[in-house]
Structure 1
Amino acid sequence: MNRAIRVVALSTAALSLAALQSPAQAASTTGALMITHVRPNTSGADVRSGTQLNLNGEYFLIRNVTTRTVNTGGYVPDITSNTYGRALPSYNLPAGAKAYVHTGSGRNHRDSSGWHHIYRGYGRHVLPNDARSRTPDLRLKKPGSRDDNTSTGSISACNWNLAKDGTTYAC
């Protein structure tokens, strides 16, 4: 009887230690951040008279799926159809929080409604509007990964097929 109690106690302790070592994560990610939505086609025209319009209307949303603050610096958004080029800037995203990752420029911040905003600093639209021929289109890769159009280092992905004007797609 004493041996059975020790086996149960040791099994419980081992399971508790295993649970402590793994961060809480959503099913569709293998890392701390997950892409949850994408708006690849901003409302209205992308360009008028040679000027890029509404760059910040093109974005994707990420969510911190852990129970701790995660610094977004170094995570690499990679698009299968082109070279996206820039790792995310440093920004401390609280546990469970979501952030808009905008294509254009701005100041990384939390707004009065509690939404976080991160800006990539591109001077042109970069998310493809037509993704029917590629799966997935947008991948988020762990820090240190290459923007090389491969799945190596991917932790979350999203595909939206043919993007309607101003529509946000769940991933």
Structure 2
Amino acid sequence: MSRTVRIAAVASAALSMVALATPSQAASTTGALMITHVRPNAAGADVSGTTQLNLNGEYFVIKNVTSRTVNTSGYIPDLTTNTYGRALPTYYLPAGAKAYVHTGSGRNYRDSSGNHHIYRGYARHIMPNTSTAKNPDLRLKKPGNRDDNTSTGSISTCNWNTAANGTTYGC
């Protein structure tokens, strides 16, 4: 094998290794906020008898992709598998910041690590753990749009198939 061919083969192999180590393309958005992760199946059992467990272990993460603070009020998380999309509450998310949007109740705040937490106030789990007739798809819609299981007004989406217990998925 000639020296030129060997150098080309080594260079090609090195580039292939770099490509494998490169993270996948980030989720996209056509608005100020982007869904970056989702944990549709909180760790452990969802229910014990009639008591809902670990509601705040079910969440999705949004990121402010602008250079200004964005008020989350009115943005609609819309799941294709149901119509339980309650608009997000008023919360001022700083430029570049991310927020964990929890299913259950709590006080909206910024933690000591700089992460923000927003609570939706549901009394039960709402994100599907498995795909049945449809592949679950979470859409974030601009304020003023409806939770109607259509893509109208969507600015960012995330989907999963069967959600493993306590696993967070990148979008």
> What is the one-letter code of the residue matched to 1:72?
T
Aligned-partner Cα distance in 2 for 1:41–1:136: 12
Measured against aligned partners, the alpha-carbon deviations of 1:73-121 in whole angstroms (never above 9, x if no partner) come to 0000000010123100000000000000000000000011111000000
Deviation at 1:135, TM superposition (A): 4.7
- Tell me, in whole angstroms, the C-alpha distance in 1 between the residues paired with 2:60 and 2:132: 18
Counterparts of 2:85 and 2:155, CA distance in 1:
17
> Which consecutive residues of structure 2, in runs of 5 or more, have no partner in the other structure?
1-25
Aligned Cα RMSD in Å?
1.3
User: C-alpha deviations, 1:113-170, integer Å up to 9, x for none?
Assistant: 1110000000000001113643561000000000011000000000011000000000
Amino acid at match of 1:162: T
Does the aligned pair in 2 maintain the 1:132–1:162 contact within 8 Å?
no
Cα 1:113–1:48 change in 2 (3 A) is same
Match of 2:154 in 1: 154
- Matched with 1:67 is 67
Contact 1:131–1:137 (8 Å) recurs in 2: no
Alpha-carbon distance between aligned partners in 1 of 2:75 and 2:92, rounded to the nearest angstrom? 12
Q: What is the match of residue 113 of structure 2?
A: 113
What residue number does 2:23 align with?
none
Cα separation, 1, equivalents of 2:58 and 2:126: 8
CA-to-partner distance for each residue in 1:37-61, whole Å, 9 max, x for gaps?
Answer: 0000000000002100000000000
Q: Following the alignment from structure 2 to structure 1, what is the Cα–Cα distance between the partners of residues 132 and 160?
A: 8
* Partner residue in 1 for 2:13: none
Sequence identity (%): 79
Aligned 8 A contact 1:41 1:58 in 2? yes
Distance 1:71 1:100, change over 3 A: same
Q: Where do residues 117-156 of structure 1 align in structure 2 (5 Å cutoff)?
A: 117-131=117-131, 133-135=133-135, 137-156=137-156
Cα distance, 1:169–1:101 mapped onto 2, change above 3 Å: same
Q: How does 1:43-122 map to 2 (within 5 A)?
A: 43-122=43-122
TM-score by length of 1: 0.82
For 1:145 and 1:38, the matched residues in 2 are separated by: 21
| Paired residue secondary structure (1:56) | helix
Q: Is the 8 A contact 2:68 2:94 kept in 1?
A: yes
Distance 1:27 1:99 in 2: 15
Q: Please give the alpha-carbon distance, in whole angstroms, between the structure 2 residues aligned to 1:149 and 1:86.
A: 13
How many correspondences in the alignment?
146
